[in-house]
Structures are given as C-alpha cells and as structure tokens.
Amino acid sequence: MSGSIPDLPALAAVCRAEGATLYVDDAHGFGVIGERGPGETCPYGMRGNCVVRHTGGSYDGIVLVGGGIYVTLAGYPLVPRDRVGFRIQLTVLTSDDDIDRLNGTLTRLSERFPLRLKG
C-alpha cells in the first residue's frame, strides 16, 4: 500500500527458478499498476502468465492460496488506546516453526520497545 513498485522481473525470475507462482495484489493501486484504459495494459499483464498472476482482489483472497503469515498492528479506534492488538492470519501451509519464529520476534520486539501508555 506504499505505492512502491516491486522489482517484478527479479521476483518472477526467482519464481521461475523455483517453480513457484508470484501473485501481484493490486487492490489498492488499480489504475496505477494494472490496466489503465482501452488497449493500455500494465507491463505485467492483467491475466499474467505461467509465473505472474495479477489480481485486483482482496488480500484475504490471496493469502489463502499459499503459505504465509500476514501481521498488522491494529491501531485506535479498532483497539482501545490502553491496549495493543495484532491481527495475525495464518494459512494451512504455515508451519509450527514459522509460528514459533513469529512469536519469538514479537516477544523480542516487546522487550526492546516497551509499551508507553499515554497519560
């Protein structure tokens, strides 16, 4: 959602070498990246190819396709100011080692950056 354009040729090369599929989620930038008008297609192509798939769908629809962990800090007003919350989505391909690594990282971060309450 930053508007930064990733190095898709490099990412696609890695995916080709590993036999993986690269999903490009353009739900927040459709019209910037993606097809912009009659006869004008994005450099990545709306339909993609055997490696790159372009979508204008939601992240929830993409994250369920492959293994991965998606974490976002839930801020006010979703979470009361005196609490901190994380939204974590796991796929069926997320391993126990991945979850342990995530828990360890979050624990180290909480120890390094203690919560400072407004007051």
Kindly report, residue by residue over 21-72, the tens digit of the pLDDT: 777 665 555 444 444 556 655 555 454 444 555 555 555 554 444 555 555 5
pTM of the model: 0.32
Question: What's the average model confidence in pLDDT over 103-116?
Answer: 81
Mean pLDDT rounded to a whole number for the chain: 64
What tokens appear for 37 in the block?
């008008």
Helix (H) or strand (E) holding 1: none
pLDDT for 32 equals 47
Residue-level pLDDT at 45:
47
Q: How, if at all, do strands 52-55 and 85-90 pair? A: unpaired
For residue 44, which of 16, 18, 9, 14 has the smallest C-alpha distance? 9
Mapping DSSP onto H, E and C, the string for 2-61 reads CCCCCCHHHHHHHHHHHCCCEEEECCCCECCECCCECCECCCCCCCCCCCEEEECCCHHH
Name the residue with higher pLDDT: 54 or 78: 78
**Domains of the chain, residue spans:** 8-63, 69-112
